[in-house]
């Protein structure tokens, strides 16, 4: 027994015991504990294994920089790997397991790596595993890969929920320690909208671990007083358990709130974690400082901890880290810990001070070794003693814990995330935050101010400056008085001399001093090279503890200043954030919104099988009893449309109402074909190009009155075309008198197609729809029987006699029902996208399978449609480029199999008969293919080099991916009704 719970003290609730499990063993902790403090209270020093050498490791810190005490919490789909025990809030029933060990934490086979460590020095991967050549891929790499990682991700569906929220404030204070609390109070009293965020479950920061008195109160009580006032202010929001992880452009901060990570059974109506996007006019970093480890021989033995952590465990959690604690320090903090231990009655084995002339006062009777160095530690799974050297004399001193203090680093992470580099302060022996403008200020220990009294004053002062800057007036304030402070200043010590064992810099990744030396020797001395070569700072703590020492060591080894070495780049996330929290509710079926057509219910009633099409769900086919495959349904639907009549939902096409004196001119510039003279009451097929001359989209546009047009776009590009038109109208031609808006959602639109379509349409509308009164491409407002107003268009994608009827969306279902009813006598059927695709394929009509963004109008056979008369339209000039008019371009053709029972599919490539497959011999590809029930064999549209000259030629449809080769005849791409007799009937 070494570590233990003190009999009294701390901010834990001794009346509320909580049982939890570690590696299957039941242990007991208290409400207010972290998992780490509870483990220590149970004398569990060994908590993990390091990454490379699998060395036994214990708790080092009491906070988010913990490199060693990583555990998996929870079971099955609720397990969280790599959770830091030092920040995990204890709850009854918590189930934690150690990681990266097999078969057990105590007996780990992987520890053999430790014996091989001479071969596993920095960069060893790159020099080795190359012989014999074939072995890397087959033998070495799989072994290395299997050794990867720490915790295990189960990759099962997470049963819990997450959400995201936006918040706005005048001032965001990051950190609710002494500085942050004072800043929030000052700003809150002045009436600013303040958000005070703190990563701990209990706000107060270092005040929770302090033994000084403030305004005559113990520090934690003082914190509670400030918090009580803040809670009473409606303009102040306190957010505990909230880590601000990133600082983004325009003072937007990302923060994650652990809403229910500390409960065994989360409530279903609340998320477990919540992502906050905080838009802050100003922000104040009051993130405090991080204690710096000392780099000495054997410094990774379980029981070696940060001095401040030893103090925190004693003062805040009422836990002694050992019965006899040795302290190794280069500054005042070691003496503070000594005082804390003495106050709790814990034995201090020795204080080793690296400095010769320090005048810090040790507790009475404590042995102090000045100018001393720890060169090694004793013990196996926990420390049992230290080897101390002073002026060439060596001494072994028994102890069961070591508190180390290498000084302090301001926590400046957020301030350095947007490109500005940390600035070295020779006075403070630390990197300080750069000046990043007035959006973000830094205060207190985060600004290198280590005296508590000064922090309280700095927090209030910096807040006052922000208050004035934002035009508020500060309420005058009396600063609290502090008694009993210890001066935490220190002298830099990058490396404790005389190490007799590996002296670790990065604990988790097992980077020790010699690795950095090797990196330097091999030319990897740049701080980024050294990081990448040795992996120093790349572990889950991202170098919070190791970065500064690596910089210091690289500087010392080269005899230069740490300023000349610099730091590696600080990047989000300050501490790791779960995918789930960053994704929020936008996942699974809710990854994107669903758009539903007004005819969705109608389709569903009629047996539709839906397929997603962009954000929409559209009917793919309408299964009837006895049909077992989509092909059966589709073939029936196609034949029925060709022979009788069918009805299809086309509501998802983009619809745009265009008005204005210059509407026609606008369209004329937008489309490559002419629109100026489109008569009122007529629709026209239009082809829109990109400015580079390639086809962008197609559709029909109808002239409903002289200054009112109605455009349809494809479903896929409805949004894109709208944006393109807005760009043209607003940016390119702002002086054209044209206005437009989308009416896609206003109309339910149905295509009624087939030789008997007219009977159905005439039964629905009052107006005369005969060919004479309403010929092909007629377009006008109509009145349905009963008075409902709609629009009717005589356009056809299927190639049949066809109408598109549009009615106000809420009436869509009823009208479609009526159409089915009226059509029953004519054999009407509903048809879906699959049938529509076959119908258009038979007719040689194109879709985005053909218009894939690399196709010119001429490639697709629309060359003559492009107006030569118009002086300008989008895409005109660049469509004349050499490569876009070259004779060997691929042109759209039809294909039919030479043997009628042979099939082919889209994506196959084309070869000349007898030609060897090669990129050079590649003649083109199939863009769309399918079985034509009308013709009784497969047909395809394809793009073939100089294709229009090659009708009648045989080509090989080469589908190596599918293992087929089919001989096909090149033909005209219109397979059905090339004379348009049906269309015009």
Residue in the structure block whose two tokens are 């004053």: 457
Window of 22-30, 346-354, 585-593, 797-805 that interacts with another protein by CB under 8 A:
585-593
The nearest distance, CB 883 to another protein, in angstroms, is 3
| Residues between 133 and 192 with contacts to another protein, criterion CB under 8 A | 133, 136-137, 141, 144-146, 148-158, 160, 162-168
* Residue 150 or 983 with smaller CB distance to another protein: 150
* Site residues (CB under 8 A) for another protein, limited to 966-985: none
Burial 132-152 (b: 16+ CB within 10 A, else e): eeeeeeeeeeeeeeeeeebbe
User: According to CB under 8 A, which residues from 604 to 643 bind another protein?
Assistant: 611-613, 616
Alpha helices, H only, 879-948: 882-885
Least separation, in Å, of the C-beta of 772 and another protein? 23
Instruction: Provide, rounded to whole angstroms, the least separation between the CB of residue 631 and another protein.
Output: 13
CB of 568 to another protein, least distance (A): 11
Q: Do the beta carbons of residue 767 and residue 803 sit within 8 Å?
A: no
CB nearer to another protein: give 116 or 217: 116
Residues 732-751 that bind another protein (CB under 8 A): 732, 734-735, 737, 739-741, 743-748
Q: Which of 177, 246, 857, 947 binds another protein (CB under 8 A)?
A: 246
# of chain residues touching another protein (CB under 8 A) = 189
Q: Which is nearer to another protein, 13 or 137 (CB)?
A: 137
13 vs 852, which CB is nearer to another protein? 852
Closest approach of another protein to the CB of residue 418, in Å: 6
Q: How far is the CB of 507 from another protein (least distance, A)?
A: 14
Please, which of residues 807-846 interact with another protein by CB under 8 A? 807-811, 813-815, 818
* Listed ranges 34-42, 177-185, 353-361, 725-733: which one lies at the site for another protein (CB under 8 A): 725-733
The nearest distance, CB 813 to another protein, in angstroms, is 6
Query: Which residues, other chains included, contact 58 with Cβ-Cβ below 8 Å and sequence gap of 6+?
Result: 45, 46, 47, 48, 68, 69, 301, 302, 303, 304, 305, 382
Q: Which of 23, 907, 912, 937 binds another protein (CB under 8 A)?
A: 907
* Nearest residue to 404 via CA among 336, 307, 263: 307
Interface segment toward another protein; rule CB under 8 A; list 426-434, 476-484, 729-737, 932-940: 729-737
Q: Which of 287, 344, 366, 535 binds another protein (CB under 8 A)?
A: 535
Q: How far is the CB of 386 from another protein (least distance, A)?
A: 24
- Measure the CA angle with vertex 524, ends 519 and 530; round to 5°: 70
Say if CB 444 and CB 180 are below 8 A apart: yes
Q: Where are the beta strands (DSSP E) in 160-272?
A: 162-174, 194-197, 213-214, 217-218, 236-239, 242-248, 252-258
Between 395 and 692, whose beta carbon lies closer to another protein? 692
Return the range that interacts with another protein (CB under 8 A); candidates 85-93, 200-208, 469-477, 655-663.
Answer: 655-663
Q: Is 311 in the site for another protein (CB under 8 A)?
A: no
Radius of gyration of the chain (CA): 38
Residue range at the interface with another protein (CB under 8 A); choices 293-301, 356-364, 678-686, 722-730: 722-730
Nearest to 339 by CA among 357, 322, 356, 364: 364
CB closer to another protein, 384 vs 601: 601
Instruction: Tell me which of 423, 609, 849, 967 binds another protein, using CB under 8 A.
Output: 849
Question: If binding is defined by CB under 8 A, does position 958 make contact with another protein?
Answer: yes
Residue 485 or 707: the one with the smaller Cβ distance to another protein is 707
Q: Given the rule CB under 8 A, which of 383-391, 402-410, 559-567, 575-583 is the region that contacts another protein? A: 575-583
Residue 289 vs residues 394, 413, 439, 491, 914: alpha-carbon distances, Å: 33, 11, 21, 16, 75
Residue 270 C-beta: closest distance to another protein, Å: 6
- Which residues between 422 and 461 bind another protein (CB under 8 A)? none
Q: Which of residues 462-521 bind another protein (CB under 8 A)?
A: 514, 517-518, 521
Question: With contact defined as beta carbons under 8 Å apart, do 670 and 699 qualify?
Answer: no
What b/e readout covers 429-466, taking b as 16+ CB neighbours within 10 angstroms? Answer: bbbbbbebeeebbbbbbbbbbbbbbbbbbbbbbbbbbb
Paired residues of 703 in beta bridges: 709
DSSP letters spanning 250-312 = GGEEEEEEESSTT-SS--TTS-SEEEEEEEEEEEEE---EEEPPP--BTTTSTTEEEHHHHHH
Please select the residue that binds another protein; options are 115, 217, 560, 592, rule is CB under 8 A.
592
Residue whose CB is less far from another protein, 42 or 879: 879
Q: How far is the CB of 580 from another protein (least distance, A)?
A: 4
According to CB under 8 A, which residues from 318 to 347 bind another protein? none
Tell the smallest beta-carbon distance from residue 305 to another protein (Å): 22
Asked if residue 103 has a cis previous peptide bond (ω within 30° of 0), the answer is: yes
The answer to whether the beta carbons of residues 647 and 835 sit under 8 Å apart is no
Residues 656-715 that bind another protein (CB under 8 A): 657, 659-661, 690-694, 696, 708
- DSSP string over 437-499: -TTEEE-GGGGT---HHHHHHHHHHHHHHHHHHTT--PPP-PPPPEES-----B---SS-TT-
Nearer to another protein, 612 or 771 (CB): 612
Kindly tell me which of 381 and 690 has the beta carbon lying closer to another protein.
Answer: 690
Q: Which of 4, 201, 573, 685 binds another protein (CB under 8 A)?
A: 573
Residues 777-806 binding another protein (CB under 8 A) are 784-786, 788-789
Site string for another protein, 865-904 (x = CB under 8 A): ------xx---xxx--xxxxxx------------------
The Cα-based distances of 954 to 135, 648, 898, 910, 929 in angstroms read: 48, 36, 8, 10, 17
Q: Among the candidate windows 72-80, 288-296, 312-320, 474-482, which touches another protein by CB under 8 A?
A: 72-80
Shortest CB 259 distance to another protein, Å: 10
Tell which positions 111-130 bind another protein, by CB under 8 A.
118-119, 121, 124-130
Q: Which helix (H) or strand (E) holds 395?
A: strand 393-398
For another protein, the binding residues in 248-287 under the rule CB under 8 A are 248-250, 252, 254, 269-270, 275, 277, 279
> Residue 220 is inside which H or E element, if any?
helix 219-232
797 neighbors 586 (Cβ within 8 angstroms):
no
Least distance to another protein, CB of residue 850, Å: 11
Contacts of 425 by beta carbon, 8 Å cutoff, 6+ apart: 431, 432, 448
Q: Kindly indicate which of the ranges 311-319, 351-359, 537-545, 558-566 contains the residues binding another protein, using the contact rule CB under 8 A.
A: 537-545
Strands 80-84 vs 70-73: parallel, antiparallel or unpaired: antiparallel
Q: Judged by CB under 8 A, which of 303, 598, 823, 947 binds another protein?
A: 598
Give the one residue of 262, 378, 529, 912 binding another protein; rule: CB under 8 A: 529
Q: Is 523 in the site for another protein (CB under 8 A)?
A: yes
Q: Cα–Cα distance between 399 and 366 in angstroms, integer?
A: 14
Do 695 and 851 contact (CB within 8 A), yes or no? yes
Q: Given the structure tokens 């000594």, which residue do they identify?
A: 338
Sign of CA dihedral 223, 228, 233, 236: positive
């Amino acid at each position: 027994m070494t570590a233990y719970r003190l009999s009294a003290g701390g901010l834990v609730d001794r009346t509320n015991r909580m049982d939890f499990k570690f590696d299957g063993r039941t242990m007991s902790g208290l409400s207010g504990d972290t998992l780490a403090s509870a483990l220590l209270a149970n004398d569990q020093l060994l908590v993990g294994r390091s990454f490379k050498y699998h060395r036994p490791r214990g708790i080092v810190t009491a906070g988010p920089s913990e490199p060693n005490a990583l555990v998996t919490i929870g079971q099955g789909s609720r397990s969280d790997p790599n959770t830091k025990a030092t920040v995990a809030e204890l709850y009854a029933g918590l189930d934690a397991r150690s990681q990266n060990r097999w078969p057990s934490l105590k007996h780990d086979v992987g520890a053999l790596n430790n014996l091989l460590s001479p071969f596993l020095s920095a960069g060893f991967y790159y020099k080795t595993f190359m012989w014999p050549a074939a072995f890397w891929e087959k033998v070495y790499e799989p072994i290395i890969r299997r050794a990867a990682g720490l915790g295990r991700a189960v990759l099962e569906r997470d049963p819990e929920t997450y959400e995201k929220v936006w918040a706005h404030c005048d001032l965001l204070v990051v950190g609710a320690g002494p500085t942050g609390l004072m800043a929030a109070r000052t700003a809150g009293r002045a009436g600013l909208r303040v958000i005070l965020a703190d990563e701990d479950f209990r706000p107060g920061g270092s005040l929770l671990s302090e033994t000084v008195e403030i305004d005559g109160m113990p520090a934690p009580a003082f914190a509670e007083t400030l918090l009580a006032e803040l809670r009473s202010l409606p303009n102040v929001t306190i957010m505990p358990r909230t880590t601000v992880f990133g600082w983004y452009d325009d003072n937007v901060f990302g923060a994650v709130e652990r809403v229910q990570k500390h409960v065994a059974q989360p409530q279903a109506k609340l998320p477990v974690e919540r992502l906050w996007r905080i838009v802050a006019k100003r922000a104040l970093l009051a993130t405090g400082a991080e204690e710096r480890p000392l780099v000495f021989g054997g410094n990774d033995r379980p029981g070696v901890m940060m001095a401040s952590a030893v103090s925190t465990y004693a003062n805040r959690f009422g836990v002694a880290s050992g019965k006899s604690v040795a302290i190794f320090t280069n500054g005042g903090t070691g003496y503070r810990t000594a005082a804390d231990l003495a106050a709790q009655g814990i034995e201090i084995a020795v204080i080793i001070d690296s400095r010769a002339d320090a005048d810090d006062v040790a507790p009475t009777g404590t042995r102090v070794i000045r100018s001393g160095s720890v060169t090694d530690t004793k013990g196996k799974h926990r420390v049992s003693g230290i080897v101390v050297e002073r002026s060439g004399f060596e001494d072994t001193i028994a102890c069961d814990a070591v508190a180390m203090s290498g000084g302090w680093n301001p926590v400046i992470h957020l301030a350095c995330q947007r490109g500005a580099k940390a600035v070295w302060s020779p006075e403070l022996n630390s990197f300080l935050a750069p000046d990043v403008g007035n959006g973000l200020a830094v205060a207190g220990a985060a600004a290198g101010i280590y005296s508590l009294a000064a922090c309280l004053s700095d927090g209030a002062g910096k807040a006052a400056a922000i208050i004035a800057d934002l035009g508020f007036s500060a309420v005058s304030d009396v600063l609290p008085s502090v008694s009993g402070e210890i001066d935490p200043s220190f002298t830099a010590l990058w490396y404790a001399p005389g190490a007799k064992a590996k002296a670790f810099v990065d604990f988790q990744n097992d980077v020790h001093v010699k690795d950095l030396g090797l990196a330097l020797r091999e030319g990897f001395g740049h701080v980024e090279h050294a990081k990448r070569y040795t992996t120093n700072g790349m572990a889950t703590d991202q170098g919070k503890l190791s970065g500064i020492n690596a910089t210091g060591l690289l500087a010392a080894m080269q005899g230069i200043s740490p300023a000349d070495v610099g730091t590696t780049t600080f990047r989000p996330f300050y501490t790791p954030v779960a995918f789930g929290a960053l994704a929020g509710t936008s996942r699974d079926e809710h990854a994107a919104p669903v758009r539903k057509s007004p005819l969705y219910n109608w389709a569903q009633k009629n047996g539709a099988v839906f397929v997603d099409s962009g954000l929409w769900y559209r009917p793919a086919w309408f299964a009837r009893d006895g049909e077992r495959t989509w092909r059966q349904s589709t073939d029936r639907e196609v034949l029925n449309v060709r022979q009788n009549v069918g009805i299809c939902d086309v509501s998802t096409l983009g619809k745009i109402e265009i008005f204005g004196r210059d509407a026609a001119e606008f369209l004329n510039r937008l489309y490559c074909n002419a629109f100026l003279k489109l008569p009122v009451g007529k629709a026209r097929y239009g082809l829109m190009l990109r400015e580079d001359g390639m086809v962008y989209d197609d559709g029909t546009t109808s002239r409903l009155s002289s200054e009112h047009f109605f455009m349809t776009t494809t479903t896929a590009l409805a949004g894109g075309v709208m944006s393109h038109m807005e760009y043209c109208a607003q940016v390119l031609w702002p002086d054209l008198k044209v206005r437009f808006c989308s009416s896609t959602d206003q109309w339910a639109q149905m295509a009624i197609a087939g030789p008997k379509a007219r009977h159905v349409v005439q039964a629905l509308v009052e107006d005369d729809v005969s060919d004479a009164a309403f010929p092909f491409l007629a377009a006008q407002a109509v009145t349905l029987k009963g008075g409902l107003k709609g629009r009717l268009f005589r356009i056809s994608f299927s190639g049949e006699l066809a109408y598109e009827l549009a009615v106000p969306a809420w009436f869509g279902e009823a009208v479609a029902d009526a159409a089915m009813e009226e059509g029953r006598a004519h054999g009407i059927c509903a048809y879906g996208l699959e049938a529509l695709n076959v119908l258009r394929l038979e007719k040689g009509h194109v879709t985005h399978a053909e218009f894939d963004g690399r196709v010119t109008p001429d490639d697709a056979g629309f060359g003559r449609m492009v107006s030569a008369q118009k002086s300008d339209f989008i895409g005109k000039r660049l469509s004349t480029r050499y490569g876009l008019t070259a004779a060997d371009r691929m042109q759209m053709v039809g294909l039919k199999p030479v043997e009628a029972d042979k099939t082919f599919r889209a994506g196959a490539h084309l070869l000349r008969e007898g030609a060897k497959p090669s990129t050079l011999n590649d003649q083109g590809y199939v863009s769309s293919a399918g079985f034509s029930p009308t013709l009784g064999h497969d047909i395809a549209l394809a793009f073939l080099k100089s294709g229009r000259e090659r009708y009648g030629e045989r080509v090989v449809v080469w589908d190596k991916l599918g293992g087929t080769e089919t001989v096909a005849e090149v033909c005209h791409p219109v397979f059905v009704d090339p004379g348009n007799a049906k269309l015009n009937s």
